[in-house]
């Protein structure tokens, strides 16, 4: 076993000795049990233990994980002190692997004109620190002197925060934890600014590191036109396989004064709960979202994409696989809230709410039950649970049940690139309620069971793939080779047995299934590129698809002069409904 004083030296081009001096040239390296120094050239004195390194200097400390790069350096291996010039480096946050500990993996980058290393401590002169990736960090803290202990903390005075090289904030004192649990309670950076809708705003907050497993923060912002806004965030990691996060946002809106003296208030609240766990062999996920009103989101959302979204979805599930993933069991809940229009807070929301509370799902993937020249595969899907649909003109109640079973049998033929894959799926769906009357303006639900029996026959025929490889012009920068692939497909489908489509309550896509007799033709073009290293990537895909419906009314499901939604048309085009019988559909 090597001792703590052991020193290893190596180089490629030349290695000379002159008394206590060792001269290493060409990929030179000096290593101890604690660290390693590499450079183009290294001069080492065994009497004083001083090491002088020049050109592409790199120091790595094994215990702390910090790494330095410098132009040249002088370092004493015994006293563990020295100087590094034109230096930059990283100091990773230390991660605990113990159960129930909140951690971070963000490394800590720094750069300085020169740095002094004194044992396990660095003094950076005229430099910056950041959590962003160098060489072009999004933000930096700049200071004349940083005092850094890797794995512990970084301290500086007279610090200036730069965002994209623009000075934003001056801090007389700066502290950044770098320890095993790099979180520390304290006040958050104050915020201030101006909004055309909310007026001037200012605020601040506090972060509380409760313990190694839990923390929370609260922020208060005050808008001069609208009033105070509260943001609360609480997260935890109870054990090694579980974590959760609760985020809450509320605005106590004073309202907008109107000409008649009234005030229109647009405040509200929203929150999100996310989490994951593993229990009894099940994997669990949760993403629950709540929004008090659409007008609140439109007025107080800081994201354009979010402000124009009228849908709020929540989902949670427990999932387990059996027999090498051949079978899957799901226990899930689902809630989808769709705001049809913006309504004042004083009026009931115009919204559609669909819920599944809960649903049991069992599925089995394709398994070969008959072998030989004509193989046969069998798969199935089954589900059952309570579902509901609530909207201004329709209330199904929360005790509506739906049970569904869909076994599937398939086979396949192939000959010289041609392939044919026939399959048949038998479906049985039992609803505890149905429509007694259904029109675009009104609907009446009765507690009369509805049983739907379907047969879905599919013939999937594919021609041999056509491809060509060619070299693109260098000025296109598309790699060394391009491959153009053409795939042609024809799918015939016949669905029968849906004889009460207009009595079926629509909860999800499975309820939109209608009778059909159709042929779908498609041609898909794919373009792949191959670079000099042999990596292949698909860079472009485009398809042309056309469907021919031999039953224009889809078994009577499509009526003229009104909105008609059927699964077969929705799967092909982005249009959500048909306005009458359809013979062709193209994409």
> What is the distance between the alpha carbons of residues 510 and 409, in angstroms, rounded to a whole number?
19
Q: Which of 394, 404, 395, 335 is nearest to 363 (CA)?
A: 404
Q: Which two tokens stand for residue 265?
A: 């208030």
CA 246 to chain CA centroid, Å, is 17
pLDDT of residue 102: 47
Q: What is the 3-state secondary structure (H, E, C) of 495-562?
A: EECCCCHHHCCCCCHHHHCCCEEEEEEEEEEEEEEECCCCCEEEEEEEEEEEEEECCCCCCCCCCCCC
Q: Which of 402, 456, 475 is nearest to 434 (CA)?
A: 402
> What is the distance between the alpha carbons of residues 515 and 153, in angstroms, rounded to a whole number?
68
> What is the distance between the alpha carbons of residues 361 and 355, in angstroms, rounded to a whole number?
15
> What is the distance between the alpha carbons of residues 334 and 338, in angstroms, rounded to a whole number?
13
pLDDT of residue 425: 96
Print pLDDT tens along the chain (587 aa): 345 567 888 888 778 888 888 999 888 999 888 889 999 999 999 889 899 999 999 998 887 778 889 999 999 988 889 999 999 888 765 544 444 444 444 567 888 999 998 877 889 999 888 877 666 777 888 899 989 887 677 888 888 888 887 888 888 888 877 655 556 788 887 888 888 878 888 899 999 989 888 999 999 999 998 899 999 999 999 998 999 999 999 999 988 888 887 888 888 999 999 999 999 889 999 999 999 988 888 888 877 777 778 899 999 999 999 988 899 999 999 999 998 888 877 777 888 999 998 899 999 999 999 998 889 999 999 999 999 999 888 889 888 999 999 999 999 989 888 999 999 999 999 999 998 877 666 778 899 999 999 999 999 999 999 999 988 888 877 778 899 999 999 999 999 999 899 899 999 989 999 999 999 999 999 999 988 788 888 999 999 999 999 999 999 999 888 888 898 888 887 777 888 898 888 76
pLDDT of residue 96: 42
Geometric angle at alpha carbon 454, from 403 and 374, rounded to 5°? 110
Q: Which two tokens stand for residue 437?
A: 């009357």
DSSP class of residue 94 equals P
> What is the distance between the alpha carbons of residues 552 and 560, in angstroms, rounded to a whole number?
11
Q: Which of 523, 539, 542 is nearest to 472 (CA)?
A: 539
* Other CB atoms within 10 A of residue 158 CB: 13
> What is the distance between the alpha carbons of residues 117 and 80, in angstroms, rounded to a whole number?
7
Q: What is the largest CA-CA distance in the chain?
A: 104
Sign of CA dihedral 299, 305, 309, 313: negative
Phi and psi of 203, rounded to 5°? 180, 180
Geometric angle at alpha carbon 310, from 570 and 386, rounded to 5°? 70
> What is the distance between the alpha carbons of residues 496 and 310, in angstroms, rounded to a whole number?
35
pLDDT of residue 433: 93
The answer for residues whose C-beta is within 8 angstroms of residue 585's C-beta and 6 or more apart is 546, 547, 549, 569, 572, 573
What is the chain's Cα-based Rg? 33
Q: Which of 280, 365, 359, 285 is nearest to 325 (CA)?
A: 365
Do the Cβ atoms of 444 and 465 come closer than 8 Å? no
DSSP class of residue 393 equals T
> What is the distance between the alpha carbons of residues 541 and 528, in angstroms, rounded to a whole number?
9
Q: Which of 259, 258, 270, 335 is nearest to 298 (CA)?
A: 270
Do the Cβ atoms of 162 and 174 come closer than 8 Å? no
Structural domains of the chain ordered from first start: 8-177 (2.60.450.10), 401-587 (no CATH)
> What is the distance between the alpha carbons of residues 469 and 528, in angstroms, rounded to a whole number?
9
Query: What do you get for the CA distance between the two ends of the chain, in Å?
Result: 71
The answer for residues whose C-beta is within 8 angstroms of residue 240's C-beta and 6 or more apart is 97, 98, 99, 100
**How many helices and strands, by DSSP H and E, does the chain display?**
3, 38
Q: Which two tokens stand for residue 104?
A: 């971070």
Determine the 3-state secondary structure of 306 from DSSP: helix
> What is the distance between the alpha carbons of residues 186 and 205, in angstroms, rounded to a whole number?
9
pLDDT of residue 402: 96
């Amino acid at each position: 076993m090597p001792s703590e004083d052991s020193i290893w030296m190596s180089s490629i081009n030349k290695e000379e000795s002159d008394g206590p001096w060792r001269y290493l040239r060409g990929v030179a390296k000096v290593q101890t049990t604690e660290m390693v120094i590499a450079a183009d050239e290294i001069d080492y004195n065994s009497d004083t233990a001083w090491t002088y390194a020049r050109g592409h200097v790199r120091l790595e400390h094994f215990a702390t994980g910090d790494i330095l790069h410098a132009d040249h350096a002088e370092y004493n291996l015994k006293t563990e002190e020295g100087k590094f010039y034109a230096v930059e480096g990283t100091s990773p946050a230390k991660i605990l692997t113990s159960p129930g500990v909140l951690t971070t993996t963000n490394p800590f980058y720094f750069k300085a004109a020169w740095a002094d290393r004194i044992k396990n401590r660095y003094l950076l002169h005229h430099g910056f620190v950041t959590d962003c990736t160098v060489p072009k960090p999004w933000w930096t803290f700049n200071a004349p002197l940083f005092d850094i202990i890797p794995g512990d903390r970084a301290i500086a005075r007279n610090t200036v925060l730069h965002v994209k090289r623009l000075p934003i904030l001056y801090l007389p004192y700066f502290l950044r934890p770098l320890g095993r649990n790099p979180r520390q309670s304290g006040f958050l950076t104050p915020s201030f600014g101006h909004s055309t809708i909310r007026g001037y705003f200012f605020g601040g907050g506090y972060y509380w590191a409760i313990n190694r497993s839990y923390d929370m923060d609260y922020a208060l912002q005050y808008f001069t036109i609208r009033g105070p806004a509260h943001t609360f965030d609480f997260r935890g990691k109870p054990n090694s396989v579980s974590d959760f996060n609760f985020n809450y946002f509320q605005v106590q809106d004073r309202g907008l004064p109107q000409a008649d003296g009234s005030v229109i208030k647009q405040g509200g609240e929203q929150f999100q709960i996310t989490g994951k766990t593993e229990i009894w062999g099940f994997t669990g996920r949760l993403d629950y979202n709540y929004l008090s009103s659409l007008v609140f989101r439109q007025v107080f959302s800081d994201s354009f994409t979010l402000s124009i979204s009228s849908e709020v979805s929540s989902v949670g599930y427990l999932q387990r696989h059996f027999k090498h993933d051949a079978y899957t069991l799901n226990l899930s809940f689902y809630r989808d809230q769709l705001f049809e229009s913006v309504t004042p807070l004083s009026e009931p929301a115009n919204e559609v709410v669909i819920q599944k509370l809960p649903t049991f799902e069992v599925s089995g993937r394709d398994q070969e039950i008959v072998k030989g020249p004509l193989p046969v595969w069998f798969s199935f899907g089954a589900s059952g649970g309570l579902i509901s649909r609530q909207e201004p003109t329709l209330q199904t109640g929360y005790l509506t049940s739906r049970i569904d079973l869909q076994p599937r049998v398939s086979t396949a033929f192939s000959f010289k690139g041609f392939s044919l894959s026939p399959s048949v799926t038998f479906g049985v769906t039992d609803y505890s309620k149905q429509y007694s009357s259904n029109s675009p303006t009104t609907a009446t639900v009765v507690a009369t069971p509805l049983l739907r029996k379907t047969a879905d026959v599919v013939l999937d025929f594919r021609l041999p793939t056509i491809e060509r490889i060619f070299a693109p012009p260098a000025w296109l920068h598309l790699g060394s080779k391009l491959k153009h692939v053409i795939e042609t497909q024809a799918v015939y489908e016949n669905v029968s047995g849906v004889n009460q489509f207009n009595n079926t309550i629509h909860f999800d896509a499975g309820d939109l299934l209608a009778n059909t007799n159709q042929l779908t033709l498609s041609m898909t073009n794919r373009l792949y590129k191959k670079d000099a290293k042999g990596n292949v990537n698909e860079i472009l895909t485009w398809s042309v698809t056309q469907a021919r419906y031999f039953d224009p009314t889809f078994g009577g499901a499509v009526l003229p002069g009104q909105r008609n939604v059927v699964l077969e048309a929705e799967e092909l085009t982005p249009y959500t409904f048909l306005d009458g019988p359809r013979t062709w559909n193209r994409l």
